[in-house]
Amino acid sequence: MPESVDAVDMQAALLRLRRTSGLPVAFGGLLSDARHARIAELNGAQTTALRGLVISAGSGLGGKSIALSRPCAVTDYRSSRHISHEYDMAVAAEGLRSVVAVPVVVRRKVRGVLYGALREPVSLGDRTFDAAVAAARDVEQALVVRDEVQQLLAVTREQVTDPRGAPEAWEDVREAHRELRALVPKVVDPALRDELLSVCGRLASAAGARAPQPCGVHLAPREVDVLACVAAGTTNAGAAKRLGLRPETVKGYLRSAMRKLGAHTRLEAVVAARRAGLLP
């Protein structure tokens, strides 16, 4: 099965590529195995000729980029002697001439390829290359986040199955909860984001099952995020860095959470949140 980055992530990267480079057409896809990528998303295309095209490593411009793990470009695709021409029919159907291809590389492994193109033979400059590389990095970051999420979910699915655990095991649960909460705002895919929040809720409720205590307190998601960092002993500045917020914003969320929980100190807030089943 191909790796799944939400279509929104890929489309956002392609849109950025078009806006920052001025190229009218952008398209791309992820690798389904070590040697094949499928073009899944198009932006600015006038036909569907490129959609679903499977690119093999070493074949065509994108395949060359995948094989070499670096950006590649041609001034005139149809007459270039530096690439093979397995995909000429699809490229000609879209009317593309000048094309750049950039690999999406995560931890030295090619995971996808992005293209930008013109319908006339024009030499592409550094601005175009820089824009294409930046767009590929957007997809790279989306993949990194998704990898981290999947790894954490695999661990936490096991941890939440048994709410009874040794103290040291619960520290692992709490750390997983903190990491998942920090990743939630970075996830664009709504289904994956909902799954993350569901697992976070199960982690917190599992702790509540150990020492149930009725509570009508409702904290905002960011208030829970900040308290999870505080529970780990993180400073406001550290929490801000981890959550991508300003320190003043973290202070505001913390004050609000303390008020709702009836706590006078950071420690009291964490204890109250745990008793209420809001934190594991």
**Domain ranges across the chain:** 2-158, 165-208, 215-279
Is pLDDT of 212 > 50? no
State how far the Cα of 69 lies from the Cα of 24, in Å rounded to an integer: 24
User: What residues contact 149, with CB distance under 8 A and at least 6 apart?
Assistant: 180, 183, 187, 192, 196
Q: Which of 194-208, 230-244, 256-270 has the highest mean pLDDT?
A: 256-270
Percentage of residues of the chain with pLDDT beyond 90: 49
Q: Say what the pLDDT of residue 3 is.
A: 44
Which amino acid belongs to residue 109?
K
**Mean pLDDT, the chain, integer:** 84
Q: Which of 13-17, 216-220, 237-241 is predicted with the least confidence, judged by mean pLDDT?
A: 216-220
Mean pLDDT, residues 220-247: 86
State how far the Cα of 51 lies from the Cα of 131, in Å rounded to an integer: 22
Q: Which residue has the higher pLDDT, 277 or 204?
A: 277
* CATH dotted code for 215-279: 1.10.10.10
Confidence tier at 274 by pLDDT (50, 70, 90): confident
Identify the residue whose tokens are 């319908």. Answer: 119
User: What residues contact 212, with CB distance under 8 A and at least 6 apart?
Assistant: 277
The secondary structure of residue 25, as a DSSP letter, is E
Instruction: Give first-to-last CA distance, the chain, whole Å.
Output: 34
CATH superfamily for 2-158 is GAF domain (3.30.450.40)
DSSP 152-192: HHHHHHHHTT-----HHHHHHHHHHHHHHHHHGGG---HHH
Q: Say what the pLDDT of residue 205 is.
A: 66
Which amino acid belongs to residue 235?
T
- Token pair for residue 221? 């998601």
Is pLDDT of 78 > 50? yes
Confidence tier at 232 by pLDDT (50, 70, 90): confident
Matching CATH topology for 2-158 and 215-279? no
